[in-house]
Each structure stands twice: as structure tokens, then as C-alpha cells.
Amino acid sequence: MIEPLLLQALKGQTTARPPVWFMRQAGRYLPEYRELRSRAPDFIAFCLNPEMAAEATLQPMRRYGFDAAIVFADILLIPQALGQKVWFETGEGPRLGALPSVESMSALTSNAGDALRQVGETLSIVRAQLEPERALIGFAGAPWTVATYMLDGEARTIGKGERATARTYAYAEPEKVDAVLAVLVEATAHYLKMQADAGAQVLKIFESWAEGLPDDLFERLVLKPHQALVARVRELGVTVPLIGFPRGSAALAERYAAECDVQGVALDTACPLAVGQRVQAIKPIQGALDPLLLRVGGAALDRRVDQLVEAWGNGPWIFNLGHGILPDVPMAHVDQVLKRIGAQ
């Protein structure tokens, strides 16, 4: 049986070329995605429709032949499974209702996987159609990132500045915030186990809001919850590799790599090449092309791809973006990158 390049890289192997997939590769830059999305009544209904979500997952695989597919879902499905109202406003993004009590959420944690079983159905559909040499990735939002939305209730506010509302909670009401994080660790572990049971060969933990945290808060809000989440996932019997993405963590990514038992560390756009090399000396890395440069294309894009290959190509490395692909990226620029690294 052919082992996917992604799995080889996560074992610490240096592959003939880096495996490649893009964050948000199933999305609005694809005309076929936009047509599919127009048929769903709302975004959450789209995510929880296994046939539609599977089609969205497979669309970029058919067009580009990436080395891995990532299940089409959203990090804010977990709050819904815990009893918090979640909806999406057209053109404005997610909205969340009042935060349920910690006690009521705790009662729902072990059922989180079953509550979101449609995501598992999506994974099963995709795995049945995906070529064996291509890996299938499941994912969840990290506890702190999901908590920022749950505590603030409005992603639009969080997106401005440095998630001031949630960070203020973390300082002013540490016991409450830590209790919410503990609930999210348990619920997310069950959710990820369900995904692995459904066919995910890799699991990714998206910590979108690790940036701007002083080291003590990073330890409390990011590192320790990730450690607890990974440990709980393993306790539940999951054996597939995990990738952690502490976006914006800068030099703290080295500490994360050394102290968190993930098998790969995804690096963001702003991560210096030298820091990436130091993280790579600890464990496999993923990243970190700037999505804005992918939008621009041309010679500048080729130069940066070459720089990444020169800096990280001799170690275990998964080529990816440093954040999600933008809706207005020309599709030809994706082809340009894949050809440049020898994936087409």
C-alpha cells in the first residue's frame, strides 16, 4: 500500500519533494465551491450536510491533486455541540449567543463526537473516494481559539486588535476561563476521536489566536490546553499523528514544539526562516507561504517558494500557506506554486 507523503513527513522523513496542501483549499476561490455553497440554506447547514461537505472537500483535490484533503467543516461547530447558539451573518461572519454555564457544557462533552457525527460521515465519504496516496486530515479549533469566540460572542470584535474581550476575561476571571478551556479540551478530544474513527489519518489543532500572548499567558492558554488535549486524545485510543498550529506564537513556537507531543508544528506567515529551522530540528514543520503573495503571483512568488525550499527542504517539511488561502487568489497562482515545488 502506498503511504501518503504527508504521513512520511510526519514520521520525520525527508521526502523527495515536500507534500503540499493549503489551508482553506476548499473555499471561495473556486467557482465550483461558490456554486455548491449557493445551494445550502446557511453555512452551518452546509458544514453539517455530509454529501455537500464531502464534495467541497474533494473539489480542490480534483482540480490540483494536493497531497492531502482536509475535511470541510468549521471550528465553531464545537460551541454548538456544547449548547451555545451559533449562526453566521452574511458578509460579517460568525455570531454566538450567550455562554452556557460550565456545568451544562460539561454534561455534553463526552457526546460532542456524536453530536457532530455528520462530520464523521463527511470523512467516510471522502476517504472512500480519495486515492490511497493522498492523506485525509481532520481538525478542530484549539481550546483557547474556540474560547475566544465563545467568551466574546462576536468574531467581528475579536478580529480587531488582539481579542481584547477574551484576553481581559483570561486576566480578570481566570478560574472561569480555565474551566471553559477544560470543557473544550474534553469535548474536542471526543470530537477528534470521532474523526479518526471515521477515517481521518491526520488531525490538526488550529490555534488561530496564539499571537500577542506574553509567555505566561501562552503557557496557560495555549501550551497547557494543547498538552492536555493531545494526552486525552491518546487516552481515547487515537493513534494518528497530530499537527499543532500555534499561529502568531513567534519564537514560542520552539517551546511549543519541544513541550507539546504533536507530531508536526505548523508555522505562520511571519515565522522567520531561521526560527522554522530551529523548530524543524525538534520535529517536522508545516508552512508558511504568505497568502497575500499567492494572490500577487509572478516572480516574487517564485522567489519566496525557492527561499522556503532552500531553508526547509532538507528536513521533514510540509509545504503550506502561513494562513488560509484568500477568496480572490487567481487559480493559476496555485498551479504556479505546485509546479515550482514539483508537485505538478
β-strand pairing of 93-96 with 86-89: antiparallel
Query: What is the C-alpha to C-alpha distance for residues 281 and 56, in angstroms, rounded to an integer?
Result: 35
Q: Report, as residue numbers or ranges, the catalytic residues.
A: 24, 28, 37, 74, 149
* Among candidate residues 217, 295, 291, 206, the one with its CA nearest the CA of residue 252: 217
Instruction: Give, in order, the Cα–Cα distances in Å from 189 to each of 7, 147, 230, 234.
Output: 21, 15, 8, 9
**pLDDT (tens digit, 9 = 90+) per residue, 198-253?**
999 999 999 999 998 999 999 999 999 999 999 999 999 999 999 999 999 988 99
Cell of residue 169, nine digits: 476575561
* Among candidate residues 330, 324, 263, the one with its CA nearest the CA of residue 295: 330
The better pLDDT of the pair 279, 164 is held by: 279
Domains of the chain, by residue range, sit at: 5-340
**pLDDT (tens digit, 9 = 90+) per residue, 88-119?**
887 777 889 999 999 999 999 999 999 999 99
Residue 30 DSSP one-character state = S
Inform me whether the pLDDT recorded for 158 exceeds 60: no
pLDDT value for 154 = 45
Helices (H), 220-261: 224-235, 252-259
Residues contributing to the annotated binding site? 24-28, 74, 149, 208, 323
- From the candidate CATH numbers 3.30.460.20, 3.20.20.210, 2.70.70.10, 3.20.20.70, the one assigned to the domain spanning 5-340: 3.20.20.210
Inform me whether the pLDDT recorded for 267 exceeds 70: yes
- What percentage of residues in the chain have a pLDDT greater than 90? 89
Q: Helix (H, G, I), strand (E, B), or coil: what is residue 158? A: helix
Inter-axis angle of helices 50-64 and 117-129, to 10 degrees?
Answer: 40
Query: What is the C-alpha to C-alpha distance for residues 150 and 144, in angstroms, rounded to an integer?
Result: 10
Query: What is the C-alpha to C-alpha distance for residues 330 and 344, in angstroms, rounded to an integer?
Result: 17
Residues contributing to the annotated binding site for substrate? 24-28, 74, 149, 208, 323
pLDDT average, residue stretch 138-162: 75
| pLDDT classification of 1: cutoffs 50, 70, 90 | confident
Residue with cell string 527542504: 313
Least confident of 12-16, 97-101, 127-131, 165-169: 165-169
Average model confidence (pLDDT) across the chain: 94
Inform me whether the pLDDT recorded for 37 exceeds 60: yes
Cell of residue 288, nine digits: 508558511
Q: Helix (H, G, I), strand (E, B), or coil: what is residue 152? A: helix
pLDDT average, residue stretch 35-47: 95
Instruction: Give, in order, the Cα–Cα distances in Å from 61 to each of 31, 145, 195, 341.
Output: 14, 28, 20, 17
CA Rg value for the chain: 19
pLDDT value for 153 = 60
| pLDDT classification of 177: cutoffs 50, 70, 90 | very high
